[in-house]
């Protein structure tokens, strides 16, 4: 909200028309402000240069004097002091001493322009306890600006490039970058890059490699080092000339394209591309295509349509200043826009300090060089916040009193440049002009290093739906058989085949179909691995154990002709046999899960490994259930069930001459055993061949399970269904199969 105070100031009454600075009015309290102007000695342009700066300051202060809302009851008296720029050590310090000691105490000093003179004069200003405002840039390689004690009373209106470091960190956080490389030119923003390295350490970021371009011959080594360390994000502080050779070498070594991000600063007026000795212009343009530049709003007139503190837009304010020079012999100086903001910053800071001085019984017109007065002025400067010609103006309240404004992020192509974002230092916020998908190709943000990406290989939808459909068909057929078995349980054909045992067979088949569903649809977890294991083995054992028990009963009856007539083998006897077999299987499974439980592991698919355009290594994996001792337990279960199948085959062979179809399932069991053996052999063979293709193996094993289970059900129940529909009535039969029944059936068969 403070930035909109400018509108309020612009609307304030102009009734009290201040006389410009040199008024003879002695009744109005005077604020004394010093101005240091350094110029080029005896050059014929010196008077012109000094006149430019005087005219700008006088115009700016005159505008302020017209405002009844700023420094009400005061008039401003400027004290100019100029000196030639002959680079004599200490000259600026001498001029500052003379300025501060002559006449009335100065509440503030503006200038000088040259950084070395600014440094020397600031050493004197802090001794005299006077604030100093700079409108020019102070190069970071001239002195360590992060040391606040060197400039305790200096306010810098021209943004220091040290602010770019905060933007660099913000960009890294925004895009998730943790590893970067830096390249700096030996005389371009040395301290700036060093401070960036410090900020990276404090933010837990990694500096992969830092390079200095001390001469052009080491550029190939610099690019090679960056490539060897696999750095993808490169920050450079370079001149346009050196940047061309950097991009030439980057082209030769392949450090360009979608996987690399070049972010530059230090360019005087953008990157001016040209051909080098080793690269054509087209090659340099290819390497530099899409690079980013971080720009400070130095000397730039803000393009914002919002009004400045004067009530005019930035462009209108500059046009107004130019009209002041139109009728004079001077042109507006290069630093004109930022000089206007400097004057306004001082005026608002002094205006804010009036209340602080009043608390001490002091005022701006009787200012003295004291700590108390300096503290009151600096407290007022902390509150400065307004929209100026060059953009928002405020000062870092806790560090080195740099101006906090906005920075621009631009993206450059061979024939065009576009603004993509600006960074508000005051709010530490990054505002984007463009959506990210228009900045990065295919909306893919480059990573800071070559990543290893593990991606789960999903079951193809056609296979998924096919297997689910097959399992569904099997489950429905099992339910249909179960309903048939219950409804027609008193029919002679069904009853003689033991409907209770048939129901147990169907339960086993149902568990196998459930296994297919779990393998296909459920996400692999420790629990689903265990459920899948139990469902399959118990389902398999239940199915073939039931078949075995039925065949065993036939075998016992037909091989024991001396058995007493009142002796019988009931279903309960068979259920005990089934229970024993299933219990043995369950014990093995429980021991397995207790000693070596299944865990979900990732099986990498080597044939599906690829390198993406961004340089990432993409590995496809499929989640599989594995156990440390699965080999031993699997073979234990295979031997147990193999023995069961072999015994069942033996019983089926021994009872092959029994021709009581309703009673004897030996032929059916023989065919079922044959199917299981063939399908198991096929599955075992394919599991060895398709080890690196788990998805295909899943489909094959599921189809084998479905085919074997459905075939067994159809062999057992379809003949019974056909027999039921051929015989329209059901004759009640005894629930016990006796020797007498067998003899009767034998005699009928013999005839």
pLDDT digits (tens, 9 = 90+) for 266-277: 776 567 778 888
Stretch among 35-44, 66-75, 575-584 having the lowest mean pLDDT: 35-44
Residue 730 has pLDDT above 60, yes or no: no
DSSP code for 536 = H
pLDDT score recorded for residue 139 = 55
Residue 244 has pLDDT above 70, yes or no: yes
Is pLDDT larger for residue 465 or for residue 493? 465
Classify residue 346 by burial, with Cβ atoms within 10 Å: 0-12, 13-18, 19+. buried
Classify residue 59 by burial, with Cβ atoms within 10 Å: 0-12, 13-18, 19+. buried
Range 88-112 burial, b when 16+ CB lie within 10 A, else e: eeebbbebbeebbeeeebbbbbbbb
Q: Are 239 and 266 in contact (CB under 8 A)?
A: yes
Residue 158 has pLDDT above 50, yes or no: yes
Q: At what angle do helices 526-559 and 739-750 cross, to 10 degrees?
A: 70
Sheet with 417-424, edge to edge strand ranges:
206-213, 179-185, 233-237, 261-265, 291-296, 406-412, 417-424, 429-432
pLDDT score recorded for residue 187 = 66
Written as one string, the DSSP assignment of 41-95 is: TT-TTHHHHHHHHHHHHHHHHHHHHT-TTSSTT-EEEEEEEEEE----TTHHHHH
pLDDT score recorded for residue 52 = 87
Separation of CA 673 from chain center:
56
Q: Mean pLDDT throughout 575-579?
A: 87
Could you give the CA distance from residue 75 to residue 246 in angstroms, rounded to a whole number?
55
pLDDT score recorded for residue 147 = 56
Written as one string, the DSSP assignment of 313-378 is: -HHHHHHHHHHHHHTSS-PPPTTHHHHHHHHHHHHHHHHHHHHHHHHTT--GGG--S-HHHHHHHH
Q: What percent of the chain has pLDDT over 70?
A: 82
pLDDT score recorded for residue 80 = 95
Q: Are 113 and 87 in contact (CB under 8 A)?
A: no
Q: What percent of the chain has pLDDT over 90?
A: 33
Q: How confident is the model at residue 677 (pLDDT cuts 50, 70, 90)?
A: confident
Instruction: Kindly state which CATH superfamily the domain 163-296+409-450 is placed in.
Output: Response regulator (3.40.50.2300)
Residue 281 has pLDDT above 70, yes or no: yes
pLDDT digits (tens, 9 = 90+) for 479-500: 999 999 888 888 877 777 788 8
Residue 600 has pLDDT above 50, yes or no: yes
Could you give the CA distance from residue 344 to residue 309 in angstroms, rounded to a whole number?
9
pLDDT score recorded for residue 4 = 40
Q: At what angle do helices 694-726 and 666-689 cross, to 10 degrees?
A: 170
pLDDT digits (tens, 9 = 90+) for 339-388: 999 999 999 999 999 999 999 889 999 899 999 999 999 999 999 999 99
pLDDT digits (tens, 9 = 90+) for 320-341: 888 877 666 677 788 888 999 9
pLDDT digits (tens, 9 = 90+) for 525-573: 888 888 888 998 999 889 888 888 887 877 777 666 554 444 567 778 8
Could you give the CA distance from residue 234 to residue 744 in angstroms, rounded to a whole number?
97
Could you give the CA distance from residue 461 to residue 468 in angstroms, rounded to a whole number?
10
Q: What kind of fold does domain 455-600+647-746 have according to CATH?
A: Rhopdopsin 7-helix transmembrane proteins (1.20.1070)
Is pLDDT larger for residue 97 or for residue 675? 97
Q: Do domains 2-159+301-403 and 163-296+409-450 have the same CATH topology?
A: yes
Q: What are phi and psi of 129, to 5 degrees?
A: 60, 55
pLDDT score recorded for residue 253 = 95
Residue 437 has pLDDT above 70, yes or no: yes
pLDDT score recorded for residue 436 = 79
Residue 671 has pLDDT above 60, yes or no: yes
pLDDT score recorded for residue 564 = 44
Q: Are 390 and 151 in contact (CB under 8 A)?
A: no
Residue 378, C-beta contacts closer than 8 angstroms, at least 6 positions apart: 131, 153
Residue 709 has pLDDT above 50, yes or no: yes
Is pLDDT larger for residue 500 or for residue 162? 500
In this structure, the number of other CB atoms found within 10 A of the CB of residue 240 comes to 16
Domain layout of the chain by residue ranges = 2-159+301-403, 163-296+409-450, 455-600+647-746
The Cα angle at residue 346 between residues 158 and 40, in degrees rounded to 5: 55
pLDDT score recorded for residue 327 = 63
Q: How confident is the model at residue 729 (pLDDT cuts 50, 70, 90)?
A: very low
Take residue 518 and report the two structure tokens written for it: 């779990």
pLDDT digits (tens, 9 = 90+) for 5-26: 443 333 343 322 333 344 445 6
pLDDT digits (tens, 9 = 90+) for 29-51: 999 999 999 887 655 667 888 88
pLDDT score recorded for residue 688 = 74
Average pLDDT along the chain:
81
pLDDT score recorded for residue 727 = 64
Q: Beta partners for 581? A: none
Stretch among 245-254, 652-661, 684-693 having the lowest mean pLDDT: 652-661
Q: Mean pLDDT throughout 243-262?
A: 93
pLDDT digits (tens, 9 = 90+) for 117-142: 998 999 999 999 999 999 887 655 45
Written as one string, the DSSP assignment of 290-309 is: TEEEEEE--SPPP---S--T
Is pLDDT larger for residue 650 or for residue 352? 352
Residue 475 has pLDDT above 60, yes or no: yes
pLDDT digits (tens, 9 = 90+) for 358-372: 998 899 998 999 999
2-159+301-403: CATH architecture? 3-Layer(aba) Sandwich (3.40)
Q: What are phi and psi of 65, to 5 degrees?
A: -65, -20
Could you give the CA distance from residue 591 to residue 399 in angstroms, rounded to a whole number?
68
């Amino acid at each position: 909200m403070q930035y909109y105070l400018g509108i309020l100031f612009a609307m304030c009454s102009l009734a009290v028309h201040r006389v410009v600075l040199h008024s003879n009015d002695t009744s109005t309290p005077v604020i004394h402000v010093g101005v240091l102007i350094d110029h080029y000695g005896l050059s014929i342009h010196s008077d012109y240069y000094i006149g430019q700066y005087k005219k700008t300051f006088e115009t700016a202060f005159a505008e302020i004097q017209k405002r009844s809302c700023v420094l009400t009851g005061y008039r401003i008296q400027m004290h100019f002091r100029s000196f030639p720029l002959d680079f004599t050590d200490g000259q600026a310090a001498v001029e500052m001493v003379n300025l501060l000691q002559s006449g009335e105490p100065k509440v503030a000093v503006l200038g000088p322009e040259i950084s070395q003179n600014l440094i020397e004069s600031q050493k004197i200003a802090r001794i005299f306890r006077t604030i100093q405002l700079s409108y020019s840039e102070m190069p970071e390689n001239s002195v360590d600006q992060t040391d606040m004690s060197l400039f305790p009373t200096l306010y810098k209106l021209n943004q220091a490039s040290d602010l770019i470091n905060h933007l660099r960190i913000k960009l890294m956080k925004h895009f998730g970058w943790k590893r970067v490389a830096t390249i700096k030119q030996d005389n371009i923003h040395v301290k700036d890059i060093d401070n960036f390295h410090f900020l990276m350490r404090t933010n837990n970021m990694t500096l992969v490699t830092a390079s200095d371009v001390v001469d052009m011959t080491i550029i190939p080594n610099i690019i090679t080092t960056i490539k060897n360390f696999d750095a993808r994000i490169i920050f450079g502080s370079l001149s346009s000339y050196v940047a061309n050779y950097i991009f030439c070498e980057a082209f030769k070594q392949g450090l360009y394209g979608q996987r690399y991000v070049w972010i530059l600063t230090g360019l005087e007026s953008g990157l001016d591309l040209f051909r080098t000795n080793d690269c054509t212009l087209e090659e340099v343009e290819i390497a530099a295509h899409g690079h980013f530049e971080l720009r400070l709003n130095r000397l730039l007139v803000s393009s914002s349509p919002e009004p400045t503190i004067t009530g005019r837009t930035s462009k209108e304010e500059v046009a107004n200043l130019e009209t002041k020079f139109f009728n004079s012999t001077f042109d507006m100086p290069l630093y004109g826009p930022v000089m206007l903001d400097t004057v306004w910053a001082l005026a608002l800071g002094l205006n804010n300090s009036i209340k602080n001085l009043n608390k001490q019984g002091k005022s701006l017109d009787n200012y003295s060089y004291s700590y108390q007065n300096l503290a009151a002025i600096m407290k007022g400067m902390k509150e400065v916040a307004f929209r100026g010609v060059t953009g928002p103006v405020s000062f870092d309240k806790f560090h080195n009193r740099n101006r906090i404004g906005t920075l621009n992020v631009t993206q450059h192509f061979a024939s065009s440049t576009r603004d993509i974002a600006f960074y508000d230092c005051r709010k530490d916020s990054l505002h984007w002009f463009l959506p990210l998908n228009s900045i990065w190709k295919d909306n893919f943000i480059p990573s800071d290093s070559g990543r290893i990406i593990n991606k789960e290989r999903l079951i193809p939808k056609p296979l998924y739906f096919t297997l689910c459909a097959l399992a569904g068909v099997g489950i429905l057929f099992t339910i249909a058989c179960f309903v048939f078995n219950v409804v027609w349980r008193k029919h002679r054909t069904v009853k003689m085949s033991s409907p209770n045992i048939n129901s147990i067979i169907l339960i086993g088949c149902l568990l196998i179909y459930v296994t297919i569903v779990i393998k296909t649809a459920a996400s692999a977890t420790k629990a689903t691995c265990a459920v899948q294991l139990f469902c399959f083995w118990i389902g398999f054992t239940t199915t073939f154990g039931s078949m075995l028990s039925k065949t065993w009963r036939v075998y016992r009856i037909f091989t024991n002709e001396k058995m007493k007539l009142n002796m019988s083998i009931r279903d309960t006897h068979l259920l005990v046999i089934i229970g024993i077999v299933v219990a043995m299987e369950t014990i093995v499974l429980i021991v397995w899960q207790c000693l070596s439980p299944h865990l979900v592991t990732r099986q990498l698919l080597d044939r599906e490994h690829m390198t993406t355009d961004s340089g990432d290594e993409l590995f496809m994996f499929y989640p599989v259930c594995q156990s440390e001792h699965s080999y031993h337990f699997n073979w234990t279960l295979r031997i147990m069930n193999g023995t069961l199948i072999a015994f069942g085959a033996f019983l089926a062979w021994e009872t092959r001459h029994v021709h009581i179809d309703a009673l004897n399932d030996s032929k059916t069991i023989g065919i079922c055993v044959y199917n299981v053996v063939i399908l198991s052999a096929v599955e075992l063979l394919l599991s060895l061949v398709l080890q690196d293709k788990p998805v295909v193996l899943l489909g094959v094993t599921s189809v084998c399970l479905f085919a074997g289970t459905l075939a067994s059900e159809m062999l057992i129940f379809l003949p019974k269904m056909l027999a039921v529909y051929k015989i329209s009535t059901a004759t009640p039969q005894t629930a016990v199969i006796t020797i007498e029944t067998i003899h009767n059936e034998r005699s009928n068969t013999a005839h």
